[in-house]
Amino acid sequence: MSDATARIRGAVHAAVGHDSAVAHVTGAARYLDDVPIVSGTLEAALVLSPHAHARIRRIDLSAALAAPGVLAAITAADIPGKNDIAPIRSDEPALAADVVEYDGQPVAAIAATTLDRARAAAKLAAIDYEPLAPVLTIEEAMARESYVSPPQIMVRGEVEEALARAPQRLAGELRCGGQDHFYLEGQVALATPGEACDMHVWSSTQNPTEVQRGVAHLLGLPLNAVTVEVRRMGGAFGGKESQATIIAGIAAVLAWQARRPVKLRLPRDDDMRATGKRHPFLIRYDVGFDADGHIVALDLTLAANGGNVADHTPAVLTRALCHADNCYFLPNVRFRGLPCKTNTVSNTAFRGYGGPQGMLAIETVIEAIARRLGLPVHTVRRRNFYGIGRNDVTPYGMTVEDNIIERVADELDRTADLAAWRRDIVNFNALSPVVKKGLATMPVKFGISFNRPALNQAGALVHVYTDGSVVLNHGGTEMGQGLFIKVAQVVAEVFAIDLDHIRVSATSTAKVPNTSPTAASSGSDLNGMAALHACQQIKARMTEVAADHFAVPTGEIVFDSNRIYAGNRSLSFAEIAALSWEKRVSLSAAGFYRTPEIHWDFATNTGRPFYYFVYGAAAAEVAIDTLTGESRVLRAELIQDCGRSLNPAIDLGQIEGAFVQGMGWLTSEELWWDAEGRLRTRGPSTYKIPGSRDVPPIFNTRLLADAPNRAATIFRSKAIGEPPLMLAISVWLAIKDAIASLADHRLAPRLDAPATPERVLVAIEDMRARTKR
């Protein structure tokens, strides 16, 4: 931050509170369900399939339509446009037409004068199903070669030959489960028909443009007839990228039929049944290595449970392949990605977007090698780290130019005193026969940018008013992550005005068109740059006006502390704004930004998909009860690379939240389907997200100091939304370390994720049995 702007309240790099923080904690923040509705607004409810796979023989909604207060009822046959809301591929219906492909799939929807009436009428829908045999597991889908999109492969070197000549070789497999987004605000949309064919939609969505397209497809309208707005979401985590389109689309079709506003919000039970999750993966590996632990070759299969349709699975799988190297140079590799089709809900985007599963795979391989050789895991890691100027090209052909993983790992080692910490764990375990402790570290290298280059663009709209107040609008959406305040700080920095002079308005497709989703951790990078470019245009115009007024060259004009200076003379920002208006100079500008240097070849899975990498490292200490399988995280130490943070307070919150969410995925959040394909864990009583008492009692988070982004990002900051989630893999590895302390340390425990008490007990018994052999 320059000296001139250091005195500005809320400029970039300042630890400013979230713009809605007070409103959040006092209940004043208005979410979509809090928006006052106009008279005549209808409430809607869904009719969900009770079968994982069945043919629809007949749908009779007459009883539902005759129920008190019901004014509209729809099935796939009532959709006036095309019944397809696919985000990437095609043929992904909003309402099932001839066949249902998962338990909980929407089949019909009812709109009535009250929510209770709509839900009661939905129960009267008479649907005749012919049950069909479902495919419920990844293994069955693999055996049938049943996929939602073509399998993917990433190859470098001569894998078979390198494996055959490797001094040592190991093979194994791992399963990691999915994860429900469990956002506090469920899926909700409010659709209001306007004049002629216009449709306005308030949607709790990360991707207003995708909702706009989905609604337009369903109604058979051009995009300019549909306006989508969102002020804030009560959490999203990827679950409101494509899934929100289902809800908004159904609400819009009901509104189109009834010619009245329709609100559709899902209760938690329906939300968990009907909407997608993080992808479960089956991981199989065959690795060759030498006596020092250097990986010679790796053949890795990542099989993802895509659910019933493609949704985001192709892109999630690509992202998993691009992160299966994590921080390690792999000279000969074959990564195979299998997008398996099953009769479960279509899995979708989730924080990390395949990266966590890919990293879990390679960390399992690294640990297995270390155990086999009797070496410390951290030693094997360092021997395989990417180098600087050598061993620095990823399996997809991108050179790692900003490598700081050694520095990050060294800083974690120093600040946490890992050597002493490890000794304490060993000493504790020697004296404790039942409770065992484990300690593990986790390095992270996470790529930033969408793998699809076209998505790496953003627009912003900035207005300066004659009183000096500013309105900012951009294509990013606010879901609690602090995007709005960060981009507002960029505007404050450029104009050198206090942050409270700036208002961020609701994201709208009518203001900034053709937006990308707020995802891939790129919200600040993209929208911050777009806002910067818009502000620079206005500032240049205001500078000309000021220079003319003061009769000085433009180079002598300085914006500082809410004033514009020409030497010792000055006017306030508001006075220059008013003067610009008097001079008929525009105080409005649209900014645009596209990420440079990136490219990707989908046919070969090669290119430069990322503008830069974010690095981090964590150490976690856990304790397990060997009689019950229960585990507890006792301490966590995190080091996170944020570049030159736009807002350290916001970034620290994101790091801590991501870590705890990652803990949940790997320890307690178990999605369980029965033999008929019905999800049985669909509420807080059966689906266990981390609570406040699950947060480590000792929890230290540090931002890496003096590490500005080498890439030309917005004020040299780095993305922070997703990378810290992978640091939580240290918790899962620490549980494995605790299990390993019970027996031969040269054996790697077999532990799937999440590491529930049952799985921990099974892993303990397996470890003891293998040691006896």
Residues labelled as active-site residues:
722
* Edge-to-edge strand list for the sheet holding 557-560: 557-560, 563-566, 569-572
Alpha-carbon span 696 to 333, nearest angstrom: 37
* Distance, CA of 2 to chain centre: 33
Beta bridge partners of 458: 593
Residue 414 neighbours by CB distance under 10 Å: 10
Residue 419 neighbours by CB distance under 10 Å: 8
**Does residue 453 contact residue 611 with C-beta atoms inside 8 Å?**
no
Q: How far is CA 764 from CA 632, 738, 770, in A?
A: 16, 10, 10
Phi and psi of 732, rounded to 5°?
-65, -40
Alpha-carbon span 573 to 576, nearest angstrom: 5
Interacting residues of 558 by C-beta distance below 8 A, sequence separation 6+: 4, 564, 565, 566
Residue 3 neighbours by CB distance under 10 Å: 7
Which residue has tokens 């951790």?
521
Alpha-carbon span 93 to 339, nearest angstrom: 19
Phi and psi of 281, rounded to 5°?
-130, 145
* DSSP for 694-739, written as a single string: GS-SEEEEEEPSS---SS--GGGB---SSGGGGGGHHHHHHHHHHH
Q: How far is CA 608 from CA 457, 595, 613, 716, in A?
A: 16, 12, 11, 20
Beta bridge partners of 565: 558, 570
Interacting residues of 426 by C-beta distance below 8 A, sequence separation 6+: none
Helix and strand tally (H, E) in the chain?
19, 29
